[in-house]
Amino acid sequence: MRHSLILILSLLSVACSWSHKPLQPLEREAADRALRTAGTQLHNDPASASGTYLKALKQYRAMADIEGELWALSGIALSSRALKDSLAYLDSRERMDDIVKEISPERDYIPLLLELQLAAASSDWILVSELYRDNEDWPSVARLRILAYAIQAESLLGQDRSAHVKLALKLLRGQKRKLHRQGDLHALQIARTRYALAYHYLVETDLKKAEKQLNQALELDRLYGDFDALGYDYWLLARIAIARGDPTTARAQLLKAQRLFEGSAHAAMQTRVATELLSLEKGE
């Protein structure tokens, strides 16, 4: 009986393996893996990231995967900017513009996200605010990422952001059921929006809502291993604790952020966290 059961289970296993169909082409999975790997390399090793993005680009191009090509070119543009290679940056931007114009105008949100990311990285929040636009035909997750940049810029600039916050919350409600089914990149984009909302609520001194949004962002960043973002999450939790008048909790959160920023390319945040820890020690 025992051996018969094992045989039946073995046959069922083989049958399942025969009937199994991949959710997407294996080549696409390999290209997606390369794209994710390049993203993890970007901050600390842009040269390696550039090579990995190029590998992903070739894989996507071989499948005529236009969206993948655009994301890979966007990554090449980011790594080229980090390496101060203006020719490679301009070439990748031109190729993106050509693809959008000639093949896929409905994916114009990908070059826009690149522009927003570069402006935010330069702390040019006025430009971020000016670049913002929305299109109901874009994927919800892209609209949310673009909204995240706009809300953060408007929070820092003291501009009215109520309409954008309302839209972000509406779009987020539609993402709950498919959050983890869409993969890590999707989930991490949601985390960025929740971080921006947390920042907004902190500026508005609604600390309860700020902490709620930030804890959801932190959970996703930790689950999917975005440790750069996790450093910012702990830093913002420290700001919330300071606003509550709780320096002990603030210090603990800053120490977590410090560990995550150490050895990274985020020199400005390393300095900022160190300064804020010193201020807490002095009781300022």
Angle between helix 66-82 and helix 86-102 axes, rounded to 10 deg: 160
- The model's pLDDT over 39-91, given as tens digits with 9 standing for 90+, comes to 888 888 999 999 999 999 999 999 999 999 999 999 999 999 999 999 999 99
pLDDT over 50 at 11, yes or no:
no
Mean pLDDT of 140-168: 95
Torsion of CA 44, 45, 46, 51, to 10 degrees: -150
Residues of the chain by 3-state class (helix, strand, coil), percent to 5: 80, 0, 20
- pTM of the entire predicted model: 0.83
Per-residue tokens: 169: 């919350």
Query: With contact defined as beta carbons under 8 Å apart, do 31 and 10 qualify?
Result: no
Rounded Cα distance, 150 and 199, in Å? 12
pLDDT at position 226, please? Answer: 86
The per-residue DSSP string of 86-140 comes to HHHHHHHHHHHHHHHHHT-GGGTHHHHHHHHHHHHHTT-HHHHHHH----TTS-H
